[in-house]
Amino acid sequence: MSSSERLPVLDGLRAISILLVLGAHMLPLGPKALALNHAAGAMGMSLFFALSGFLIASVLMHNPNVYEFMVRRFARILPLVYLYAFIVFVLLSQDLENLLWTASFIQNYFPAHLVSYNAHFWSLCVEVQFYIAIAAVVLVSGEKGIWIVWPACLLVTALRVDAGAYTHIQTHLRVDEILAGACVATLYRNFWNGRAGVPAAWVGVAVVLWFLSASPYTGWMQYLRPYATGCLLAAVLGQGKGRLADFLGSAPMRYIAAVSYALYVFHPLSIHGWWNEGSIFDRYVLKRPLSFAMTFGAAHISTFYWERLWLRAAKQWIEQRRLRLRSAA
pLDDT of 6 > 80? The answer is no
Q: How many CA atoms lie within 13 A of 201 on its CB side?
A: 0
Is 132 contained in some domain? Answer: yes
User: What's the structural domain count of the chain?
Assistant: 1
Domain-located, residue 142: yes
Owning domain of residue 101: 8-250
The packing angle between helices 149-163 and 176-187, to 10°, is 150
- Does any domain span residue 270? no
Greater pLDDT, 74 or 238 = 74
Judged against a pLDDT cut of 70, whether residue 1 lies above it is answered with: no
* Residue 329 banded pLDDT, cuts 50, 70, 90: confident
What is the per-residue pLDDT across 271-296, written as a single tens digit (0 to 9) for each?
Answer: 999 999 999 999 999 999 999 999 99
Query: Looking at the domain assignment, is residue 267 inside a domain?
Result: no
In a domain, 43, yes or no: yes
- Give the 3-state secondary structure of residue 123: helix
* 211 in Cβ contact with 43 (< 8 Å): yes
The DSSP secondary structure of 199-240, one letter per residue, reads -HHHHHHHHHHHHHHH-TTSGGGGGGHHHHHHHHHHHHHT--
Closest CA to 196 of 242, 233, 128, 158: 242
pLDDT above 80 (res 2): no
Mean pLDDT of 98-103: 96
Q: Is residue 240 part of a domain?
A: yes
Question: In the predicted model, what is the mean pLDDT of residues 96-116?
Answer: 96
Residue 165 lies in a domain: yes
CB neighbour list of residue 135: distance below 8 Å, 6 or more residues apart = 66, 69, 70
C-alpha distance from residue 224 to each of 199, 229, 266 (Å): 22, 9, 30
Q: Quick check: is 276 in a domain? A: no
Closest residue by Cα to residue 184 from 61, 285, 91: 61
Check if the beta carbon of residue 107 is closer than 8 Å to that of residue 116.
no
